[in-house]
């Protein structure tokens, strides 16, 4: 179910580092080098498969940008924020 603007605002406040971008949410990550970036992407991939929800991923050497969006609903749902927070937990 699509979240209301109010709900999105609350969810964003609980989802460190992510911001609105287009119809979805996005966060950029920076690592020591390319291999650390790829290592992170593999952890993201594992979480994405568990959630059956897959972020768009852009890798540029040591930088990774993730974008999350519920295609089937055409906007943001609870699934997006659950995924984003679980991805954040990789870094802690």
Q: Where on the chain is the footprint of a copy of itself (CB under 8 A)?
A: 34-35, 38, 41-42, 45, 48-49, 54, 56-61
Residue closer to a copy of itself, measured from CB, 14 or 46:
46
Residue closer to a copy of itself, measured from CB, 59 or 82:
59
Token pair listed for 65: 């940008």
Give the three-state DSSP class for 64.
Answer: strand
Residues 6+ apart with CB under 8 A from 35: none
Q: How far is the CB of 24 from a copy of itself (least distance, A)?
A: 12
Q: How far is the CB of 7 from a copy of itself (least distance, A)?
A: 26
Residue closer to a copy of itself, measured from CB, 36 or 75:
36
Length of the chain: 92
Give the three-state DSSP class for 29.
Answer: strand
Q: How far is the CB of 30 from a copy of itself (least distance, A)?
A: 15
CA distance 9 to 57: 23
């Amino acid at each position: 179910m699509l979240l209301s603007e109010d709900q999105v605002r609350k969810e964003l406040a609980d989802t460190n580092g992510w911001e609105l971008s287009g119809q979805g949410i996005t966060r950029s990550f920076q690592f020591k080098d390319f291999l650390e970036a790829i290592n992170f992407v593999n952890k993201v991939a594992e979480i994405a498969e568990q959630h059956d929800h897959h972020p768009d991923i852009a890798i540029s050497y040591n930088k990774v940008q993730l974008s999350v969006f519920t295609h089937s609903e055409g906007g943001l749902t609870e699934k997006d924020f659950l995924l984003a927070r679980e991805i954040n937990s990789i870094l802690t």
